[in-house]
Amino acid sequence: MATYEPFPFPLTLEIIVLPVADPDRSKAFYSQLGWRLDADFANDKGFRVIQFTPPQSGCSIHFGDKMTAAKPGSVRGLHLVAHDVVAVRDELRRRGIETSEVFHDADGLFHHGGNNNRVDGPNPERKSYASFVSFNDPDGNEWVVQEITGRLSGRLWE
């Protein structure tokens, strides 16, 4: 396998397109999360784009009409990061959002797909990168909140 030098200039991830069946239902859900509504534009050809941004995030989500051919609800493992997943779960539930229990991986690694290898409760040592909570939007697109209390060397806090 070839070895390459680091990319010579910044590339930032700024938009993720989510496949949804009902843009208005999704708009209500992401509003309920308290995310910032940045745009809701439509044209006379039936194209519509809605943009939301999670609090303090540099990356936004787009959904709407005629934006993607992907099956609604087919996105898995979108990650948000927080300092305290227990507090995030409590806030999501206060807002009426159904969530998983807080969990960690049985092997102490990054969580597996689906519910495989999940153990209820935060990581016993409350290690950074090791505790999670998940929730789905109305179509089933999966979000995972990962607890990070201290970054690994070379990774920045925003």
Each residue's pLDDT tens digit, 44-101: 999 999 999 999 999 999 999 999 999 999 999 999 999 999 999 999 999 999 999 9
Mean pLDDT of the chain: 93
Q: How many CB atoms neighbour CB 70 within 10 A?
A: 13
> What average pLDDT score do residues 110-119 get?
83
Which pLDDT does position 158 carry in this prediction? 46
User: Class of 76-152 per CATH?
Assistant: alpha beta
**Pair 150, 119: CB distance under 8 Å:** no
Nearest to 25 by CA among 144, 141, 133: 141
Q: Which two tokens stand for residue 129?
A: 């990168």
Domain range summary for the chain, segments of one domain joined by +: 13-71, 76-152
Domain 13-71 is found in CATH 3.40.1190.10 = no
76-152 has the same fold as 13-71: yes
Record the pTM: 0.90
